[in-house]
A and B are shown apart, each in its own frame.
Chain A
Amino acid sequence: MDDIVVQVLIMLVQVVVLVLAISTGFAYLTLFERRLLARMQNRVGPNRAGPGGFLQPAADAVKLFFKEDVIPTLVDRGVYLLAPALAVIPALLIWAVIPFGCLNIAGDYQACFADPATNPNLHNIFQLADIDIGVLYLLAITSIGVYGITLAGWASNSKYAMLGGIRASAQLISYELALSSAVLAAVMMAGTLSTHEVIYQQMTMWFVIPQLLGFVLFLISGTAELVRAPFDLVEAEQELTSGYNAEYGSMKFALFFMSEYIKMIAISAIAVTLYLGGWNAPGLELLGSLMTGMAGPLVGSIAVGLASFLVFLVKVVLILFLFVWMRASWPRVRYDKLMYMGWKWLLPLALLNVAMTAVFVVVLPDALIHSVALFVASLVVMAVAYVVSSRVKPAPSRSRIKMVQPEVPRRPSS
Chain B
Amino acid sequence: MEFVMFFATAAIALIGALAMVLSPNAVHSALFLLLNFAAISVLFLLLRSPFLFAIQLTVYAGAIMVLFLFVVMLLGAERADATQDRLAWQRPLALGLALVLLIEAVFISVTTIPQTPAVASPEAEAFAAPANLGSVLLTTYVLPLQITGIILLVAIVGVVVLNQRARLRHSLELEQK
Contacts and interface: CB of A to CB of B under 8 A. Distances in A.
Contacts of A193: 130
Contact of B66 (A76, A141, A150, A406): A150
B66 A140 contact: no
Nearest to A410: B177
A339 interface: no
A238 interface: no
B58 A143 contact: yes
Chain A interface mostly helix, strand, loop or mixed?
helix
Contact of B50 (A76, A133, A406): A133
Contacts of A402: 167, 170-171, 174
Nearest to A141: B57
Nearest to A414: B177
Given A144-B62, A193-B130, A402-B167, A136 B73 contact: no
Query: A140, A146, A172 — which one has the most chain B CB atoms within 10 A of its CB?
Result: A140
A346 B58 CA distance: 20
Interface in A232-270: none
B63 A143 contact: yes
Chain B interface mostly helix, strand, loop or mixed?
helix
B66 A172 contact: yes
A405 B129 contact: no
Interface string A167-179: 0011011001000
Interface string A152-190: 011000000010011001101100100000000000000
Contacts of A131: 50
A81 interface: no
A356 interface: no
B69 A169 contact: yes
A193 B132 CA distance: 13
A78 B25 CA distance: 12
B34 interface: yes
Interface residues of A, number: 35
B27 A146 contact: no
B51 A133 contact: yes
Interface of B: 25, 27-28, 31, 34, 50-51, 53-55, 57-58, 61-63, 66-67, 69-70, 73-74, 129-130, 167, 170-171, 174, 177
25 contacts: A78-B28, A132-B129, A136-B51, A136-B55, A136-B130, A140-B62, A142-B62, A143-B58, A143-B63, A144-B61, A146-B62, A146-B66, A147-B66, A150-B70, A151-B69, A165-B73, A166-B74, A169-B69, A169-B73, A172-B66, A173-B67, A173-B70, A176-B63, A402-B167, A406-B170
